[in-house]
């Protein structure tokens, strides 16, 4: 099985958590498999809240109604991928640049089910460059602040988020205390969202593996 097969396996296993109502849907290649699988049980749900324009388009292609989070209230379930997870289900997200809306939908959901292939499980977060969404005029200032924290920020040149902002990918961070670093980076003026999901980690992690889906809680 290749990595994409393992992503599909995890995505299909997440269907067991879909019980009805409106569900939150993340972004990325693993979530694309989830959206395709969700289409096979779409009569079970009332619709979806999407975390990106890309996922919205895919959901609509499948005839799944996309709803505004302001109109739904709390969601029972959010399903999304990750770039890294540690054993406490604290995540790095934002490789696809959708981290801000992902963090909003995760915050508004009772249960966050993260789906990934098993290579995403790590002992310590930080080998994957940490995405930080920034207001354009603050790009250089925020980059200097991130250097003070020991990181090496690289501007994701040519990429604009769905919110009209920029992404700095921060290399060389040793993330010993994810929640503390999340709070610290959040506090830098001009930062919209940092891709550490530790203050609101996942509740369930489903990993695709050669032995079949593995669930961590």
Restricted to residues 30-59, the positions that interact with ligand 5RP (CB under 6 A) are 30
At closest approach, how far in Å is the CB of 214 from ligand 5RP?
17
Residue placing its CB nearer to ligand 5RP in the complex, 94 or 151: 94
Instruction: Give 3-state DSSP helix, strand, coil % of the chain, rounded to 5.
Output: 35, 25, 40
Strand partners, 48: 23, 66
Restricted to residues 129-148, the positions that interact with ligand 5RP (CB under 6 A) are none
Rounded-to-integer distance, Cα 1 and Cα 41, Å: 25
Residue 102 annotated among the catalytic residues of the structure: yes
Q: Concatenated DSSP letters for 88-121?
A: T--EE--TTS-HHHHHHHHHTEEEEEEEEEGGGB
SS3 6: helix
- Within the chain, where are the H helices? 3-13, 29-38, 53-61, 99-107, 139-148, 178-186
At closest approach, how far in Å is the CB of 85 from ligand 5RP?
10
Write the burial class of residue 63 (CB in 10 Å: 0-12 exposed, 13-18 middle, 19+ buried). Answer: exposed
At closest approach, how far in Å is the CB of 189 from ligand 5RP?
23
Task: Tell which one of 9, 12, 59, 94 touches ligand 5RP (CB under 6 A).
Answer: 94
Distances in whole angstroms, Cα of residue 161 to Cα of each of 100, 103, 132, 207: 9, 14, 11, 27
At closest approach, how far in Å is the CB of 120 from ligand 5RP?
7
Residue placing its CB nearer to ligand 5RP in the complex, 160 or 189: 160
Task: Tell which one of 24, 96, 178, 201 touches ligand 5RP (CB under 6 A).
Answer: 96
User: Is position 93 an interface residue for ligand 5RP (rule: CB under 6 A)?
Assistant: yes
Residue placing its CB nearer to ligand 5RP in the complex, 90 or 102: 102
Residue placing its CB nearer to ligand 5RP in the complex, 131 or 151: 131
Task: Tell which one of 6, 8, 18, 26 touches ligand 5RP (CB under 6 A).
Answer: 26
Q: Which of 12, 84, 90, 102 is catalytic?
A: 102
Contact between 18 and 34 under an 8 Å Cβ cutoff? The reply is no
Residue count (the chain): 217
Q: Which residues contact ligand 5RP by CB under 6 A?
A: 26-30, 80-83, 93-99, 102
- Catalytically active residues, by annotation: 102
């Amino acid at each position: 099985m290749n990595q994409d097969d393992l992503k599909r396996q995890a995505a299909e296993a997440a269907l067991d958590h879909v019980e009805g109502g409106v569900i939150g849907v993340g972004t990325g290649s693993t979530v694309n498999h989830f959206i395709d699988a969700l289409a096979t049980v779409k009569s079970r749900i009332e619709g979806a809240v999407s975390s990106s324009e890309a996922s919205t388009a895919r959901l609509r292609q499948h005839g799944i109604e996309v709803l505004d989070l302001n109109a739904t209230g709390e969601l029972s379930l959010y399903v999304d991928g990750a770039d890294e997870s540690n054993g406490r289900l604290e995540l790095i997200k934002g490789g696809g640049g959708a981290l801000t809306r992902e963090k909003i939908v995760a915050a508004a959901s009772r249960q966050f089910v993260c789906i990934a292939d098993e290579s995403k499980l790590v002992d310590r977060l930080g080998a994957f460059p940490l995405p930080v969404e920034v207001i354009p005029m603050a790009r250089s200032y925020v980059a200097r602040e991130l250097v003070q924290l020991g990181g090496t920020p690289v501007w994701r040149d040519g990429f604009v988020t769905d919110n009209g902002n920029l992404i700095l990918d921060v290399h060389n961070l040793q993330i010993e205390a994810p929640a503390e670093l999340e709070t610290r980076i959040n506090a830098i003026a001009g930062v919209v969202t940092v891709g550490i999901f530790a203050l609101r980690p996942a509740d369930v992690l489903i990993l695709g593996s050669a032995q079949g889906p593995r669930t961590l809680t």
